[in-house]
């Protein structure tokens, strides 16, 4: 259950215990009022603990075993009970890397570097305190506060994906195998034929109007090679050809699903990407 307290609360997800304790100690110095509810070492536990305790701030390491910080944040965006508590402020923790710093700085986003740098952390704390105060202001409508927080999460996830992925030229063909074919048979699928991609376990499923293929390239590495004007990410695990979208439906629980021309299945639309279909 969430802690009933006027003090701000946080959850730390970091798989290196010494670094997690260092972050906790520096947070205690920079933000004495902050109550760290738990420290966990992997993304799955981070999701469970966050949904159980409903903290106001999340400090997520980008790279963790199993489900990483990016995946954990994406899951929480959909699973968060917004009728019980506002979606928390999100801060990614990353090892010092000039490319990582540029990726986050370009989006004017706060992040925490490993090892923890006290001055940088103090600036992040000041931003978080301001965001929490603004969210609690009575003049801010709840829907506007939610939209603002989701927009910030989208920017963080995009920057984090940029840190995790390597740059590559745009794709013209997908070298893929068919699920029922021999592993020695590779099909060269024109990118213009692809309707959507769906992450599944160790593979990404590639769908055209008539066929399904498999590739081993993770979706986060594939995205930088796709034209963002043509392919839209609508869910952490789903990227669709925008011009193929036929309809978007919202169910009684407010969850959106879309259908594509040439396909019969319904594809989930994450809360993070619901702004793409705001008229629905």
DSSP letter, residue 183 = T
d(CA 6, CA 94): 29
Q: Which strand (E) or helix (H) includes residue 113?
A: strand 111-114
Same domain? 124 vs 107: yes
For 239, phi then psi, to 5°, come to -125, 130
Per-residue pLDDT of 42-85, as tens digits, reads 999 999 999 999 999 999 998 888 888 888 999 999 999 999 99
Greater confidence (26 vs 252) lies with 26
Q: Is the pLDDT of residue 183 over 70?
A: no
Find the range with the poorest average confidence among 72-76, 128-132, 155-159, 246-250. 155-159
Q: What is the mean pLDDT of residues 22-26?
A: 96
Same domain? 253 vs 234: yes
Same domain? 138 vs 231: no
Beta bridge partners of 188: 175
The reply to whether 4 falls in a domain is no
Q: What is the pLDDT of residue 5?
A: 46
DSSP letters spanning 235-271: ETTEEEEGGGEEEEEE-TTS-EEEEETT--S-EEE-G
The reply to whether 1 falls in a domain is no
Same domain? 68 vs 99: yes
Greater confidence (139 vs 2) lies with 139
Domain boundary (139, 164, 189) is at: 164
d(CA 177, CA 18): 43
Name the nearest CA neighbour of 36 among 77, 15, 7.
7
The reply to whether 237 falls in a domain is yes
Residue range of the domain that includes 251: 173-277
Q: What is the pLDDT of residue 84?
A: 93
Number of domains in the chain: 2
The reply to whether 191 falls in a domain is yes
CATH code of the domain in which 123 resides: 3.40.50.2300
Q: Share the mean pLDDT of the chain.
A: 86
Residue that the structure tokens 């952490």 belong to:
236
pLDDT band, residue 182 (cuts 50/70/90): low
Write b or e for each residue in 6-20: b if 16 or more Cβ atoms lie within 10 A of its Cβ, otherwise e.
eebbbbbbbbeeebb
- C-alpha angle with apex 255: 252 to 259, nearest 5 degrees? 105
d(CA 4, CA 1): 9
Query: At how many degrees (to 10) do helices 17-30 and 118-136 cross?
Result: 60
Same domain? 138 vs 272: no
Per-residue pLDDT of 200-256, as tens digits, reads 888 999 999 999 999 999 888 898 899 989 999 999 899 999 999 999 999 888 889
d(CA 67, CA 205): 19
HEC secondary structure over 48-88: HHHHHHCCCEEEEECCCCCCCHHHHHHHHHHHCCCCCCCCC
What is the percent of the chain with per-residue pLDDT over 70, rounded to a whole number? 86
Name the nearest CA neighbour of 130 among 152, 104, 102, 103.
152
Q: What is the mean pLDDT of residues 124-146?
A: 79
d(CA 160, CA 194): 26
Q: Are strands 256-260 and 267-269 parallel, antiparallel or unpaired?
A: antiparallel
Q: Is the pLDDT of residue 156 over 70?
A: yes
pTM over 0.85: no
Same domain? 177 vs 160: no
């Amino acid at each position: 259950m969430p802690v009933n307290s006027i003090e701000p609360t946080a959850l730390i997800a970091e798989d290196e215990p010494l670094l997690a304790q260092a972050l906790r100690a520096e947070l205690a110095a920079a933000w004495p009022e902050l109550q760290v509810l738990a420290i966990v070492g992997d993304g799955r536990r981070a999701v469970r603990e966050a949904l159980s305790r409903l903290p106001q701030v999340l400090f997520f390491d980008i790279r963790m075993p199993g489900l990483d910080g990016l995946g954990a944040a994406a899951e929480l965006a959909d699973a968060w009970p917004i009728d019980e508590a506002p979606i928390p402020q999100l801060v990614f923790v990353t090892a010092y890397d000039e490319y990582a710093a540029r990726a986050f700085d370009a989006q004017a986003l706060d992040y925490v570097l490993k090892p923890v740098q006290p001055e940088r952390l103090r600036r992040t704390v000041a931003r978080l305190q301001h965001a929490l105060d603004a969210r609690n202001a009575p003049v801010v409508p709840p829907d506007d506060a939610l939209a603002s927080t989701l927009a910030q999460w989208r920017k963080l996830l995009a920057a984090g994906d940029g840190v995790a992925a390597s740059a590559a030229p745009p794709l013209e063909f997908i070298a893929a195998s068919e699920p029922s074919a021999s592993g020695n048979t590779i099909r060269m699928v024109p990118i213009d034929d692809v309707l959507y991609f769906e992450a599944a376990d160790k593979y990404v499923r590639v769908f055209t109007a008539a066929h399904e293929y498999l590739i081993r390239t993770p979706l986060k590495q594939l995205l930088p090679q796709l034209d963002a004007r043509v392919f839209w990410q609508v869910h952490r695990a789903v990227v669709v050809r925008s011009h193929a979208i036929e309809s978007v439906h919202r169910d009684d629980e407010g969850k959106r699903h879309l259908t594509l021309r040439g396909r019969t299945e319904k594809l989930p639309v994450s809360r993070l990407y619901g702004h793409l279909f705001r008229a629905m």
